[in-house]
Chain A
């Protein structure tokens, strides 16, 4: 399956979109949104990633096999972060027995 030739204009438009999102994410950092600053920053980064993956990396036109591999990669990354965070976040819920205290894991300050 050969890749179709995409017009240059499409790539330039995607690039301009990426620049716009970069300016947006920098601008949003100067507005106080509380915890939503992080949410906004990550949402914008994720949109930029989608633009690069779909257009520049051509996943729009790639085979199902490539897409499955890509989605599996992100799924594994999500597992890595979700399980690691759920471990650290819940460690302080039940205090460790005294006999363990010498090797107590870090708790939330």
Chain B
């Protein structure tokens, strides 16, 4: 097949590529490079979290015990479920099942929406309990009262990390849901074929990355020092 024939045959093939395989390799490489920059982006937060957790361990433990472990675990399972529906939508695109593709994309968006809803409820709880650093910081309960002098300020640092890390994660989720909506529209226009579904695959990789960030955030924020 000549170049011109290949391009005439596949609407999704951009002119700078020789064939679909080459294009797919380039797409995969591009999103992986982007994800590596994302690893370093979140990595800065994880590294500073590690330092402060080591310096202020009792305060971090106290702060962690204020979070609702059931909500955290439930949200983890919801997000893992959304990763399953995401990978199934990529598979549906691979086998050319448009109905299933749209169905799984919508399911992924719904699960992502539930996750963000739970997250919003948790954020609201932080205001109710007055554990929002700087904006509304007046913790009442016993959990933080046991801390040594100065511990309250240190616990504030824990909540700075809590909001910065889960907030950055939530922003990524919101962007991901926008991308999913775009995929649903394109799938409805019949843009994807078993030969060309790179956008679905690329958004899928991004979505799984965001899931992995949460896989680490859950034990690091909710499970510090155990609950026994």
Q: Of B56, B88, B215, B216, which is in contact with the most chain A CB atoms at under 10 Å from its CB? A: B215
With A30-B227, A41-B223 as contacts: A57 and B21 at CB distance below 8 Å: no
Could you say which residues of chain A place their CB within 8 Å of the CB of B141? none
Cross-chain contact A73 with B35 (CB below 8 angstroms): yes
Q: List chain B positions with a Cβ less than 8 A from chain A.
A: 20-21, 24-25, 28-29, 32-33, 35-36, 39-40, 43-44, 46-48, 50-51, 54-56, 69, 73, 76-77, 80-81, 83-84, 86-88, 91, 94-95, 201, 204-205, 208-209, 211-212, 215-216, 218-220, 222-228
Q: Is A106 an interface residue (CB 8 A)?
A: yes
Binding site of A, secondary structure by majority: helix, strand, loop or mixed?
helix
Q: Whole-angstrom distance between the alpha carbons of A4 and B150 in the complex?
A: 57
Q: Is A103 an interface residue (CB 8 A)?
A: no
Cross-chain contact A5 with B95 (CB below 8 angstroms): yes
User: Which residue of chain B has the shortest Cβ distance to A53 in the bound complex?
Assistant: B212
Q: List chain A positions with a Cβ less than 8 A from chain B.
A: 1-3, 5-6, 8, 11-12, 14-15, 18-19, 22-23, 25-26, 29-33, 37-38, 41-42, 44-45, 48-49, 52-53, 55-57, 62-63, 65-66, 69-70, 72-74, 76-77, 80-81, 84-85, 88-89, 106, 108-109
Could you say which residues of chain A place their CB within 8 Å of the CB of B51? 84-85, 88
Q: Whole-angstrom distance between the alpha carbons of A84 and B208 in the complex?
A: 28
User: Which residue of chain B has the shortest Cβ distance to A7 in the bound complex?
Assistant: B91
Least CB distance from A90 to B in Å reads 13
User: Which residue of chain A has the shortest Cβ distance to B151 in the bound complex?
Assistant: A109
Least CB distance from B66 to A in Å reads 15
Q: Whole-angstrom distance between the alpha carbons of A48 and B219 in the complex?
A: 12
User: Which residue of chain B has the shortest Cβ distance to A89 in the bound complex?
Assistant: B54
Q: Whole-angstrom distance between the alpha carbons of A65 and B77 in the complex?
A: 32
Cross-chain contact B44 with A80 (CB below 8 angstroms): yes
21 A-B pairs with C-beta separation under 8 A? A1-B25, A6-B91, A11-B91, A15-B84, A25-B223, A26-B73, A29-B222, A29-B223, A30-B227, A32-B228, A41-B223, A48-B215, A49-B215, A52-B211, A66-B29, A70-B32, A74-B39, A81-B43, A85-B54, A88-B54, A108-B54
